[in-house]
Structure formats: C-alpha cells, structure tokens
A and B are shown apart, each in its own frame.
Chain A
C-alpha cells in the first residue's frame, strides 16, 4: 500500500515539475498519473473523481471509474465537500485541505497563475506514505496557521 501511494505521488510531482505544459494539460496529466502510478500492480484501478473531465482523460482500459467513493482506491476531489469515505484524498483546491483535514494527503492547485503543491505531513503519516526527498520542501506540518 505504501509503495503504491509513493509511486502515485512521485508521478504527480514529476508532472507538476513540467511547467511548460498548459495549466489544463498539467491538471489532466496529474489525474491520469496519480491513478496509473499508484496502482501499477493492480490489473484494474478504481478511481472516483468529482471532475468529469478526469473521466474523459482516464480512458485506459485498466482504469475503472466507480460511482461511489466507497468503492474507490483513491479519490481526486475538486469541489465536493461532503465525502465521507475514509480514503486518501488528493485535492485540487486549497480550501479542500481544510475540509478534509483528516484524509487529505496533499493537493495540487493554481494560485495567482502559479502551480502550487502541498503535502500534509500528518495525513501522509496516517496513510503511511513517504515522498521523495526532493519534494520534502512542500510538506507542511499543518494547514492551520
């Protein structure tokens, strides 16, 4: 489990580092890579997302979009504020980190035209996820200041 989350996040950061791509492209790639990287060993990956365009992008045969968060291996959340499933959540808006403060392992979002990434130390630990050293500078002890 730890390995698969680590892979997913690594791929996520790899994509983020590619600032040459357009914001929309980066978002699309992140959605795709999280799922593919995180569940390499699985023949089928269950993803739940509240972003419809993610459905259009993740067209790989190994990816199955599930209808409810409970069925999913990972949740990619952009807007939805009332998810109850105890699954790792990767948010795409800063305010969602607060909303899912117990389950959000991190997020990728745009602020003032700049791509931003953040990891929440407490939740990474909770889901036993470690990230590569070069991305440790993005780890926040808490999102509540």
Chain B
C-alpha cells in the first residue's frame, strides 16, 4: 500500500472516530436537556397544585375581603399565612412569599414564608418587573428562568385574583437543587462519556502513532541509507505507475570511482557519493525523481513540462556542478567527474525496462567516448553521423534494395579465449553507406508485417553464413515471436530447409512482456530443438527473464544481462547477483554467457566466477563477417 493510500485510510478512521465522539457529545447533552425539561415540568406541575390549594385556603379565610389591605391590618392572619407558606419551603422551593404591587409599581412583601432571608412587611424587592407585570396583566401564572442569577433557578408566579383583579402574586423561587439533582442523575452518563472520550482519544493517538511508524518504516525502506535519496526498492514502486510521456531519463555514473575507493578508501568513497548527491540535488527541481541505482550509478527522472531539451539541460547542470565541486576527505581535495546517458524519448520504448536499458546504453557510450561527457540519442546520432530513426518507407526501401545485413560479434570460451560462436546482430546499410543499428528501425516496424519479413531475412542471412562456414551462430528472437504462428512458421520453415546445418544455430530468446502461453512455447521450442538447434535465454537477471523459464522450458544456455556485468567490478551487489546466477546455472548444468565485457578487470572477474563464455567490446566488436580480434 502506498503512503498516500495509507494516509487516506488513517484520515478516514480518524474522521469516523471524531464524528462518533461529536455525535456522542451532542447525544449526552440532548439527554441532559430533555431530563432538565421533564423534571422542571414535573416540579412545576406539582407545585402549581399546592399553590392552587393555598389560594383556595386564602379564599376560604378572607372570603370577599381585600387581600392586601386585610393582611396589612391583621398581624395574626399574616403569621397564619406565613406558616402556611413555610410548609412549602423546602430544599427545592427555596423561597415562598407573596408580593403586592404598590401605586408606584414597586413590588413589596405582604407575606413571606421563606425559612431564610425573610422580607419584612412592605419591604421592596427588586424583581424582574417585566415578567411580574405580565402576571398582573394576564391574570395567569408565569414561569421565569433566571439564568443570570447565581442562587436561583426558576421562579413560579401565581396571581391571587379577587373580583377580576390581581391583588398580589404568590412567588416560589426554585433553588439549584433541581439542576443539581439532574446533574447527579446524568453523572454516570457523563462519566461514561468521559471514558469513551478517553478511549477514543487513546485510539486516535494509537492510529496516529501507527501511521507515523508505518510512514517511518516505509520511508526508511525507500531511502538509501548512505545518500538519503530514493533506492531501487522505491524505484520499483515509482515505475509501477509512471507515465513515460512526462519524464526524460538520465543515468549517470561517477568516473573512476573504483580508483577513488582504492586510493583513499571506502570512507572517502562514501563522502564522494554523499557529495555528488548533494551537488545533484542543487540542480534538480521539485518534480524530478532521483534514485541511487547501483553502487556509484544514479538514475534521475527529469519531469518534462514545456522544454523538450530539459533532460540534456539538467544533465549539463549536473555535470558542471559536479565538475566544479571539491570533496574533502582527511585533507585530501578530491575532484570527480561523471558520465551521463540521457534518454529524451522514453515513451518511444516499449517498456520502462527498455527505456532504462536504452539510457544505460547511452551511458555506456558516454563512458566509451572517454567519460566526463553526456550522451543522448541525438548526440550519438550527430557524432556518428548516423541517420535518425528510419521511417517505414526508408526501411521498406532498404528491404527491397537488400540493404539488410548482419554483423557478428564473437563469443569466446572463457578458459582459452578461443571463439566458440558468433552472435548475429541485424543492421541496415543507409543510402550513404552508413551502418544503422536496430534501435533506429526495429521499434518502428515491430507491429508490422515488415517485422516478420525482417525475421525471415535475418534467419536466411544467418543460415547462409552457417552453410558457408559451418560455425555456430546465434540470432535474437523474442519469446513472442515463437508464440506468433506466422513468425514461428518462418523460423521453423528456415530450420527445416537447412536441417543439415541447423545444429549450428542458437536462438537467443528475450522477452519484454510476461509470458503466459508456456505450453505452446514449450511445444515449439521442443520442435526447434529436434533439429539440433540450441535455445538460449538472453538478458537473464532483468525484465521478465526469470527462474520460472528454466522450470517450464528446455533452455540450453543462459546469457546474463549486460547491465549486471558491466559494473561487476565496482558494485558488490552486481557481483553477488552474477555469482549467484552462475551458481544457479551450474546447478542446472546450463552454460553461461557473460556479455558486456568492456574491460580486462570485468573479464577476469567473470572468468573467476566460472562463466563459460564471454562476449563484449573488450574482446571483440561486432563486424561484418565471421571475424576474430587479436
């Protein structure tokens, strides 16, 4: 799962938790409000029954006499009513009293049955005039919620009406006993809410911690420990969803890095690697993706926005920046240079692996051209004065004019360096007589009938050469060529026509897509082999050439991928991979060919590892005819 996906998942969990918390909080508050409302109503309802009884009692006692005037003049009667009211005075009903409104509109005591803070006869009491006057006006009870007073909760007002006129008001002040009781009732609810809240809070913390830890681990697994840039592990993730139209690819290598390591030690090498990464980071932009690809090899995906030359420009900046940088190790001022390969059109490649491989080829050319330089498709073409990618018409014309030829590169026996066989490599001779490699025409015709025609032509050329000199020659085909019935018929037809020399032919198979129809493939390989031909797996160790092939197909020879071979003397990892592949091949009794032998050191290293056959520029370049080099 990517970091983004995980972040989305955790965000969803957190949002859900917070939503649940908020919902519960409002739910508890709603319950509280409902309780308060219901209990308040219950209290008022009960109280109003008492008050009605008191009013009836007053009526019985006074009959039609005026209430205020009579009580003013009769102290005993006042005392009687005070006693009556005091019966109601409880913890909940804090004050029970009767006020009358004087001519000036001021409310004054006539009777006070309160147990505490009792008012005297005619003593004014500052009340909420507006609400009290309502009772006089409507002659109906009124309830006042006194949120602004600290001591009182609610006041219930009941009018004493005589002869259609309000004479006084019976008032009952509720203490905070009621809300306190409600608070007591909802306490367990509140407490459980607090526990739930704490639990949710802990859960949120745990989720955040888990997310943080996951991120940390993922970041660590995606980062190269030495240089702190992305490693190959993350490269694999990145390549899964890459849009090749949006990037140009740059692959660079620190020149003579092994020499730096040998001269100053590995610690100095580490400092150089870190310094180079720092220099590169100064020159690249936010959208560019920078990876440590191998030992001293770095891969950069340059984001293309509007400038089609951005890859070359960034490459130049990287080269210049590193060239002027000085890396200091134990008072030694070390300077390094880099060789850079640039692939300006990765989308022209069939797969991302092919695009990287092509970039690697450009880097190889840069190294071959003396290092400390940049090579891209355009620069290579310019330098060699070779044509640019050929059009279909140009390719057709070349076919018609029989300008399709093969160059042959010797493959040597690793023990005595004698030539064991040759690899046929297809070329087109341009109108000007220049030799054009397959890169410039193969992709253009891949899905056309010309491709089948090319296969037929090459196999004919190869058999002609075999018939002529009876030497072992291998030619390259894709696995998909053998699955495609039309191409297969051409291949098997040619073999059948040359069955007497078919034993000299080796077919090197490579594949850029996942193999699926193994049964048919096996059947056809078996048929080819029945004529004495050999089958080799090309570029083993990269792309889709995996171990399953050996399990399911009768393979005779294994050719290790050149990208693994070329830095075998500099990359410990490449060395170990190649070593384990050779070990594996030996276990299967399958001979190994190591291509890309570009130096004496590499050759000796492969000899030491026990590779049976060697091929590469260091030994002999591909040329016309079955030649050999000294």
Contacts and interface: CB of A to CB of B under 8 A. Distances in A.
Interface residues of B, number: 24
A114 B150 contact: no
Contacts of B122: 145
Interface string A34-78: 000000000000000000000000000000000000000000000
B152 A113 contact: yes
B150 A113 contact: yes
A35 B104 CA distance: 31
Interface in B401-419: none
B587 interface: no
A116 B173 contact: no
B126 A116 contact: yes
A20 B148 contact: yes
A118 B124 contact: yes
B74 interface: no
A62 to B, nearest CB: 32
A111 B119 contact: yes
Interface string A1-41: 00000000000000000011011000000000000000000
B17 interface: no
B1 interface: no
A140 interface: yes
Contacts of B146: 113
Contacts of B151: 23, 112-113
B127 interface: yes
A22 B173 CA distance: 19
A117 B126 contact: yes
Contacts of B124: 116, 118, 140
B127 to A, nearest CB: 7
A19 B152 CA distance: 14
A94 B95 contact: no
Interface string A95-132: 00000000000000001111111100000000000000
B106 A112 contact: no
B530 interface: no
Contacts of A137: 104, 106
Contacts of A115: 126
Contacts of A113: 94-95, 146, 149-152, 173
A113 B126 CA distance: 10
Interface string B453-475: 00000000000000000000000
Given A112-B95, A112-B117, A19 B148 contact: yes
B121 A23 contact: no
A23 B126 CA distance: 15
A89 B97 CA distance: 30
B615 interface: no
Nearest to A139: B104
Contacts of A118: 124
A111 to B, nearest CB: 6
Interface of B: 94-95, 97, 104, 106, 108, 114, 117, 119-127, 146, 148-152, 173
Given A23-B151, A113-B149, 5 more contacts: A22-B150, A94-B120, A111-B117, A111-B119, A112-B97
Interface of A: 19-20, 22-23, 94, 111-118, 137, 140, 145
4 tightest CB-CB pairs across the interface, nearest first? A113-B151, A145-B122, A113-B152, A116-B126
25 contacts: A19-B149, A20-B148, A22-B150, A23-B150, A94-B120, A94-B123, A111-B117, A111-B119, A111-B123, A112-B94, A112-B95, A112-B125, A112-B151, A113-B94, A113-B146, A113-B151, A113-B152, A113-B173, A115-B126, A116-B125, A116-B126, A117-B126, A140-B124, A145-B108, A145-B123
